[in-house]
Amino acid sequence: MLFPGRDFSWLRHVIIAIGLIAFNDLLVIFVPTIRDIFGFIGASAATMLIFILPAAFYLRLVKKEPLRSPQKIGALVFLIIGIFFMMGSLTLIVLDWVHSSSSHGGH
């Protein structure tokens, strides 16, 4: 989905996989409790499954309707709202991490 016009490349696949694994490793190293991990994963995965992915798939798969149709406008609004919800939720979670670590002496 990231590179729709290009052929499959193992190098690109490996680089994306290494980036995702590195991000997960950084989360495991720097996040103090499993509760925070579940909150982060829940905020991102739930928003993706409920708002972002259905709207993105609809916009991508339904080619017969023009972009100005009510269905596609609704899907686009749903997609934008989902992105804002996810950014807001993840921002609040990270701010909670920062606030809780500063109130406990930083350790």
State the chain's mean pLDDT as an integer: 86
* Torsional sign, CA 29, 85, 48, 79: negative
d(CA 103, CA 84): 28
Alpha carbon 56 to its chain's center = 13
Which pLDDT tens digit goes with each residue over 53-104?
A: 999 999 999 988 888 899 999 999 999 999 999 999 989 888 887 887 676 6
Whole-model pTM over 0.75: no
d(CA 104, CA 89): 23
Which pLDDT tens digit goes with each residue over 5-24?
A: 888 889 988 999 999 999 98
Q: Where are the alpha helices (DSSP H) in the chain?
A: 10-30, 34-47, 53-61, 70-103
d(CA 40, CA 91): 10
Which pLDDT tens digit goes with each residue over 37-50?
A: 788 888 889 899 99
Q: Tell me which residue has tokens 């996040």.
A: 31
**Which residues, 6 or more positions from 50, have their beta carbon under 8 angstroms from its beta carbon?**
82
